[in-house]
Amino acid sequence: MMRTRLIGQTTKDPQVPMKITGITAHEVGIPMLGTLLWAYSFSRHGYTNHVAIATPRTIIEVQTDEGLVGLGEVSASKRHMESVVASRIRGEDPFDWKRVLDLAGEGPEPLDGDRQNRAGLEFALWDLMGKYLGKPVAALVGGGNYQKKVEFAAYVFFRAPGVLGGGEVNLENHPAHVAELIKKYGFRSIKLKIGVYPFEDEIRDVRRVREAIGKGPTLRIDPNSAWDLEHAIKAAEAVKDLGIEYLEDVARGLEDQARLRASTKLRVCADGSYSLDRLSNVVRTKAADVAMCDIYGSGGIAGVQDWMTMARTFGLRTSMHSGRYLGVSHMAKLQAAAAAGPFDFPIDAHYHQQYDDVLKGGLLKYGPNATMEVPDKPGLGIELDYDRIEKWRYTEERKKQYAKFHAELESGFGQLGQGDYDKFVSEHQGKGGKH
């Protein structure tokens, strides 16, 4: 593929393709402001992935012979990215991005076994293409048409104290916490991640949140499929007058979601419908009014565009899921959403839950109404802060610190106010929970 350079950033013959020369990876682990809790947070059998103490990520720099560097964010190890993946894609042209991703996924240690890693590498390739051509990623992917800013919804969790201390959010202070987030960031849509406390307590809490924030911001409730159909229908009836934007994962499975949808006038949202095959199942079962894509689960920046095309074709309303991402992923998500949008509803963000970031300038800033602007810079439009990377490097000592803190949380369960684990389970199972 022959290209003419536009921005004078390179010195080689303009007819020679840019080539990947290697990968540098940085493992970091940045704590959350508090330990995030959601349904299935605790288990005696080790299923504790739903307790979020920190955001451990691997930030990658894909280097080229042009001197340009593309930024990505993956969950794979530093060794895997620098040794295994780099050896497979060295000498390749980032503009051949599908080929590069396929090559990265070959062999006994496939990268594409985890969508997180494949998509995270794709971010770096788009960053390189944008830098090479002097255009924001959103402009490249959107064919020149893209939103200049994107609105985010607050992903609000109950929280145990954080590894750095403080940050607890429980039934008592939850409404005030939501009100403070709205005041600080301007969120106009609030997603309440519930399914942690007994059913009746949480339904009362949703009403208390509405009273605390007034009539303005809309609410979404998401118990992470912790309730059976009976309790899902009961919940829909109980909150129908509270300005609910949609019910997300309130029932378990698409069949029960379809039954819930038939029983209520509230919108039903299907999370987990990130891939095209899963999205087709939502359409087939008539399980939702709203579906959500994901920057990783939908296959990266380009995959989000394909997902949006299919969702719109079948008349689904749209939003976008969020995981615990650092700034590289968050910016990739912003660029993808700007190119694919407008979405029907503000897209989810965990980002305000982060203590810090590894970008120059620290955490990305929200504008009015919790919007973020697409940077008017080539590529993703961000740079790494190597001092911050060093500060939050995921060393063995830090891993042990987080593991110790995690074990202490597991042993107590006191932050939920349930006394002990057996009481926690019995109360939840008796009220529609599944743990």
Output the pLDDT for position 112: 46
In a domain, 419, yes or no: no
In a domain, 406, yes or no: no
Residues making up the chain, counted from first to last: 435
In a domain, 181, yes or no: yes
Strand partners, 56: 29
- For 175, other C-beta atoms within 10 Å of its C-beta total 18
In a domain, 211, yes or no: yes
Q: Which two tokens stand for residue 418?
A: 């349930």
Report the number of distinct structural domains present in the chain.
Answer: 1
What is the CB-side half-sphere exposure of residue 23 using CA atoms within 13 A? 32
Q: How far apart are CA 322 and CA 372, in angstroms?
A: 15
Q: How far apart are CA 156 and CA 143, in angstroms?
A: 34
Instruction: Please name which of 159, 47, 169, 42 lies closest in space to residue 425, comparing C-alpha atoms.
Output: 42
- Domain hosting 214: range is 143-379
Output the pLDDT for position 107: 55
Q: What is the pTM of this model?
A: 0.90
In a domain, 16, yes or no: no
Instruction: State pLDDT tens for residues 400-415.
Output: 999 898 888 777 654 4
Q: Which residues contact 36 (CB under 8 A, 6 or more apart)?
A: 51, 52, 157, 158, 159, 193, 324, 350, 353
Output the pLDDT for position 39: 81
Per-residue pLDDT of the chain (435 residues; tens, 9 = 90+): 444 444 445 555 656 789 999 999 999 999 999 999 888 654 333 334 457 899 999 999 999 999 999 999 999 999 999 999 999 999 999 999 999 999 998 654 445 456 779 999 999 999 999 999 999 999 999 999 999 999 999 999 999 899 998 899 999 999 999 999 999 999 999 999 998 899 999 999 999 999 999 999 999 999 998 899 999 999 999 999 999 999 999 998 999 999 999 999 999 999 989 999 999 999 999 999 999 999 999 999 999 999 999 999 999 999 999 999 999 999 999 999 999 989 999 999 999 999 999 999 999 999 999 999 999 999 999 999 999 999 999 999 999 999 898 888 777 654 443 333 344 334 433 333 332
Contact 266, 240 (CB under 8 A): yes
- For 279, other C-beta atoms within 10 Å of its C-beta total 24
Task: Produce one character per residue of 127-160: b if its CB has 16 or more CB atoms within 10 Å, e if not.
Answer: bbbbbbbebbbbbbbbeeebbeebbbbbbbbbbb
Write down the H helix ranges in 7-83. 78-79
Instruction: State pLDDT tens for residues 177-218.
Output: 999 999 999 999 999 999 889 999 999 999 999 999 999 999
Q: Which two tokens stand for residue 275?
A: 């891939």
Output the pLDDT for position 315: 97
What is the CB-side half-sphere exposure of residue 414 using CA atoms within 13 A? 5
In a domain, 425, yes or no: no
Strand partners, 244: 219
Contact 86, 60 (CB under 8 A): no
In a domain, 191, yes or no: yes
CATH number where 353 lies: 3.20.20.120
Q: Quick check: helix, strand or coil at residue 261?
A: helix
In a domain, 80, yes or no: no
Output the pLDDT for position 359: 99
